[in-house]
Amino acid sequence: MTRIDMSRTNKLGYAAVIGMEAYSGKAVEKRLYELIKLRASIVNGCGFCVDMHATDGAKHGIPQRTLHAVGAWQHAKNLFEPKELAALALTDAITKLGPDTVTDEIWSVAAEHFSESELGGIVMAICTINVWNRIAIATEMAPPVDAKHPIV
């Protein structure tokens, strides 16, 4: 059970994150946005968000093999376009912040595939999913269990 419902207890803050989500969803192409959200959620260990974004990715036509490969994208590069690989590397770097994470090399590769405006949108998208992951983990959100997806 979720500890608190942030959309109820912290409406203005929650609305701000919804605004970030709305912006990011328009700024980044849908398939790429779903891959970014799934990858950051995997890196952060957010079960709720991994479930949500794998499900959403499938609904948007991303093949199951590709969705499964997001967890080990570095070893399944043939399942991704070069621009997706660049975005996944940038997602890892921004999500795992530290002194040697968002290197010039990672940024340069991404800049080969995206305009400055597109890069800005991707950075916002990565930051947005990281905010959602932290909210979901802190409040102990869990993937829904229903008749279609019973507990085994």
Q: Which of 122, 107, 97, 102 is CA-nearest to residue 36? A: 122
Q: Rounded to two decimals, what is the model's pTM?
A: 0.92
DSSP class of 114: S
Per-residue pLDDT of the chain (152 residues; tens, 9 = 90+): 789 999 999 999 999 999 999 999 999 999 999 999 999 999 999 999 999 999 999 999 999 999 999 999 999 999 999 999 999 999 999 999 888 899 999 999 999 999 999 999 999 999 999 999 999 999 999 888 876 666 66
CA distance 62 to 48: 19
